[in-house]
Structure 1
């Protein structure tokens, strides 16, 4: 049963040199109560299958007490002390201890006995951050927040609101600041393969000029347009949706996925004052799509190239950024670094919730040869190499996005690849995704979905 907690007294009761057990007893147990968990709805030292999490919690249901069954947690928590021995523990974002704690909570959320977990948290009673898991993705649900007496009640209210209103969808922006790398093809075929895996999918074509996605699916703009919804709050964005349907072998119409098509009115926001004409500017698309996050499993946004209102809005609306590149298109490799180093920090600063995050690049339409891989890896090495004193090192902030399996021990430069297949590029003429026409194309895009999003 929840009790009224005097958080000022709680914070005063925790010593400056509190080690982990003190933080657990004087802060985390009270925090769980404030978040709505009774004493039989949480346990300590939960065995995740990848080491013990300090706490795990889940609401009781149908006579199943979590403290007894200890199965199917919804929230796992990694706790740190304010100090360890004589060393001060700094959990502020970007610090070594923060990175370690984030790696731990990510491992727990993806562990065998946490497949039902949607939330993870790290805290030492000085800093706190909430994470969300969707399939194989673990992403920030809040920024890393410094706890004070003035803001602790607001922080707990914010976290509880998120826990009580779990979003269903993962919003993915398919983007690279370089054109011609197959963003639209990736979006369409990823949507098709996710639908084949029984996922409910919404696709958003936010390209103001080309609208290739809308055209390739044979769709037309409707009476209610996305461009109008950007400026008119009286319109219902649900009315922009068109269903992409196909006939099955029996001639029956089968719904595949939903689409918010591009429309001719979007081009009016391409002028120098475009953002000023839309309330909340580049945040508007995110606000519009919020109505769908509890209805779909995946929302895919096809974003145009160049850092304009449209691409900025698409990235700002997303949880994760999926970046197609090509092994022989060196500009696409360099521009991916620009997205990670420049564009994402700009959007994170605007959002103040820790997101979005970038996923490792993949090679699209790849025809692999020993020479092509050698050239691509040489280019990537040039992108990653930075000076540290007198030495050249691989930039640790970029390395996970190019060679995610690379370590000092294992010199693994593997990059996920969607193979070249001629039917993929020609599928647009048939108004049907290649993944729904050909077994080989379906295999390629299923592997893409499994690599980044789905458990196999």
Structure 2
């Protein structure tokens, strides 16, 4: 039965407290949204200290549990306020946004702020929280209509987040940002070495050029006439050609043609290894390019015919198809920029720390242009994200010259901007001081040069891809395995305290909050982690304990200021001493592997220790499974780096192979063994493909050294015979003999 809202509102006192709003209004609201009593819980712990949101809601359908009992993965959060409180206060909004980002709530899709007089719905999309509605009145004749609208949005809200890249000041790299942001989002889900989003699912991305200059279009596509230019050969990976078969963007605006008719799939050419491998085209993201006639929309007669709300209308049908829509529009206030701002959910503002005008214009966008646009928008309000520093001549986060006088002047300018423009706005959340965590995209010839290839720089340079991945990670999307940081009191047990029952998930969350209270893991905390792990080793611990132990200590050792990203001799000695003391358990082995894989370089003593630890682990049961083979591969090739496989690596694998010969090992083990030993034998930099007498004698001594000639050794010899360009006669004789005897080719 539908709620009688007039009756409900009449029962609420004008001086009601939050508890009365929760029981008399929020509970009926939850039921009106279609949820049962076992699908919501009161005072839900968000995972940040003792913080709790008033209500968390999630359907039980298809879950196999009751949310009221399991209290996992809420879908909707509701925060109630007294009727006398204005829910548009920044403190209330920031509170809800913060809850939606906490460890127990970051999968929630929606949040509601209400005081029973007003209500506002927010959406959470990755790291972004933005309003889906304006602040809507409830105590009027349209209360049922308003609440029906909220219900409809919660049930059917589109999945896309629409991002407009804009600054009122030109020359700050808006188009470069839009292109590489779309490119980075588009490559998520494709495995790339050292890419932070390797474990995230594929994202559908649309980039839209809404600038009469057509810079995005020109940087990604060639004109059809380019095919006919004599003497020119375009063989670049990103050589996409515009087509007359697609509808021009201007026709979509003029004639109500669907934007689907104007979409191009942006592809790169990919060639797999092998002599006969074919080149294939891999689609990574979609693009709506701007055509030549687009510039006429800057003229008055066209602006009268097409309203700037048109783009938002055209994008409506695409919001369920894409995860992200990225709009590039020009500086200044024009038909093009107003259209982009009106269509977007959030605004990404690039600035330069040394460009005073870019900083002041960003403040003007936030305090003047966005409020004007929100007055015109009928539905959700546009939200600005904190500014980021783009096209910088140097990485100002780590530049010694920036510190001191220049940094002081910059900080003073930010303070001036906050005070001058921020009388009615909390500008500190948009203009933050530069720290080691600040997102900075350095200026680079690497970025600009690839426009000639019609290819985003993020697809040609891993360094550039990581710059933009950092932007995505901080602003839009959590890496699939990123730790969630909390803040609480010190709960790490004292040295004498024994933890017999193991560590449960709640304890892990509390320990995590202690460790990350100041944003870093110091040596004292690292010591405490090692001690605690020894205390709970072998106990029934929640899996999140091992994750925390590995991630926190990896961060401690690889973010050391003395040797960032590396494990030097002193650190290697410290780690070995801490782990070796009482034997190596599973968490410590995972830590060693994780450090080895993620470090830029490690001291040889550390690499040797990790390999020996791995040998002991994989030989414990005499069989190598998939995960062990993969672990071995990652550690060996992390240690190899640019130097190539050496004899120690090859001997290591032969020793293991001799120990597990004849067991039901994973096929990945044979593949690793054959590949790695072959690389040592044939990828000598001075004579690639040639196996000399020294290596031939080594291999002859290793083959069958355990008295067996197993399938992995046969596969190795077969591979060598097929791939080596020149083989020493001693080894050639062995290959021919074994080939004849055992029948391999």
Please say whether Structure 1 and Structure 2 have the same fold, judged by a TM-score greater than 0.5.
Answer: yes
Return the match for 2:85 from 76, 85, 90: 90
Alignment of 1:329 with 2:355, yes or no, is yes
1:124-163 aligned at under 5 Å gives the runs 124-163=115-154
- Residue 85 (structure 1) aligns with: none
1:246-395 aligned at under 5 Å gives the runs 246-250=268-272, 251-278=279-306, 281-366=307-392, 367=394, 368=396, 369-370=401-402, 372-386=406-420
Counterpart contact for 2:367–2:425, Cα < 8 Å? no
Q: Is 254-263 or 164-173 further displaced after alignment? A: 164-173
Q: Deviation digits for residues 380-429 of structure 1, max 9, x if unmatched? A: 33323349xxxxx9885322211178xxxxxx797531122220011101
Distance apart, 1:221 and its partner CA:
5.9
Distance (Å, rounded) in 2 between the aligned partners of 1:176 and 1:309: 15
- Residue 74 (structure 1) aligns with: 75
- Residue 30 (structure 1) aligns with: 28
Counterpart contact for 1:243–1:256, Cα < 8 Å? yes
Distance apart, 1:338 and its partner CA:
1.4
SS in 1 for 2:375: helix
Distance (Å, rounded) in 1 between the aligned partners of 2:477 and 2:87: 31
- Residue 402 (structure 1) aligns with: 431
- Residue 243 (structure 1) aligns with: 265
Distance (Å, rounded) in 2 between the aligned partners of 1:287 and 1:61: 33
Larger proportion of strand: 1
- Residue 214 (structure 1) aligns with: 217
Distance (Å, rounded) in 1 between the aligned partners of 2:320 and 2:424: 38
Alignment of 1:423 with 2:446, yes or no, is yes
Distance (Å, rounded) in 2 between the aligned partners of 1:414 and 1:237: 38
Distance (Å, rounded) in 1 between the aligned partners of 2:436 and 2:163: 25
Q: Deviation digits for residues 10-66 of structure 1, max 9, x if unmatched? A: 111111111122111111111111111122211111122122111111111224322
Counterpart contact for 1:328–1:372, Cα < 8 Å? no
- Residue 735 (structure 2) aligns with: none
Distance apart, 1:372 and its partner CA:
4.9
Return the match for 1:433 from 437, 456, 461: 456
Return the match for 2:474 from 444, 451, 454: 451
Larger proportion of helix: 2
Q: Deviation digits for residues 234-278 of structure 1, max 9, x if unmatched? A: x22101000110011322110010000011222222112333201
Distance (Å, rounded) in 2 between the aligned partners of 1:115 and 1:398: 25
Distance (Å, rounded) in 2 between the aligned partners of 1:55 and 1:382: 40
Counterpart contact for 2:161–2:324, Cα < 8 Å? yes
Instruction: Provide closer, same or farther for how the CA distance between residues 47 and 305 of structure 1 changes in structure 2, counting only shifts above 3 A.
Output: same
Q: Deviation digits for residues 331-362 of structure 1, max 9, x if unmatched? A: 11111111111110011111143421111111
Listed as ranges, the gaps of 5+ residues in structure 2 are: 189-201, 222-240, 273-278, 480-745
Q: Deviation digits for residues 176-209 of structure 1, max 9, x if unmatched? A: 111111111111111111122232110000012x
* Structure with bigger gyration radius: 2
Distance (Å, rounded) in 1 between the aligned partners of 2:470 and 2:476: 10
**Higher RCO structure (Cα 8 Å, ≥6 apart):** 1
Distance (Å, rounded) in 2 between the aligned partners of 1:396 and 1:153: 32
Counterpart contact for 1:320–1:359, Cα < 8 Å? yes
Q: Deviation digits for residues 270-326 of structure 1, max 9, x if unmatched? A: 112333201xx1111011111111111110000111100110000111111101111
Q: Is 430-439 or 58-67 further displaced after alignment? A: 58-67
Distance apart, 1:374 and its partner CA:
4.3
Distance (Å, rounded) in 2 between the aligned partners of 1:185 and 1:131: 30
Distance (Å, rounded) in 1 between the aligned partners of 2:68 and 2:348: 39
SS in 1 for 2:42: strand
Instruction: Provide closer, same or farther for how the CA distance between residues 423 and 236 of structure 1 changes in structure 2, counting only shifts above 3 A.
Output: same
Distance (Å, rounded) in 1 between the aligned partners of 2:39 and 2:33: 11
Instruction: Provide closer, same or farther for how the CA distance between residues 384 and 17 of structure 1 changes in structure 2, counting only shifts above 3 A.
Output: closer
Counterpart contact for 1:11–1:149, Cα < 8 Å? no
Instruction: Provide closer, same or farther for how the CA distance between residues 34 and 394 of structure 1 changes in structure 2, counting only shifts above 3 A.
Output: closer
Counterpart contact for 2:77–2:110, Cα < 8 Å? yes
Distance (Å, rounded) in 1 between the aligned partners of 2:243 and 2:359: 34
Counterpart contact for 2:163–2:346, Cα < 8 Å? yes
SS in 2 for 1:78: strand
Counterpart contact for 1:246–1:253, Cα < 8 Å? yes
Listed as ranges, the gaps of 5+ residues in structure 1 are: 83-88, 388-392, 406-411
Counterpart contact for 2:439–2:470, Cα < 8 Å? no
TM-score by length of 1: 0.89
Distance (Å, rounded) in 1 between the aligned partners of 2:122 and 2:437: 27
- Residue 86 (structure 1) aligns with: none
Distance (Å, rounded) in 1 between the aligned partners of 2:359 and 2:333: 16
Distance (Å, rounded) in 2 between the aligned partners of 1:416 and 1:237: 33
Distance (Å, rounded) in 2 between the aligned partners of 1:58 and 1:115: 13
Distance apart, 1:452 and its partner CA:
0.7
Counterpart contact for 1:169–1:296, Cα < 8 Å? yes
Number of residues paired by the alignment? Answer: 429
- Residue 53 (structure 2) aligns with: 53
Distance (Å, rounded) in 2 between the aligned partners of 1:146 and 1:252: 56
Q: Deviation digits for residues 163-186 of structure 1, max 9, x if unmatched? A: 111221111000011111111111
SS in 2 for 1:131: strand
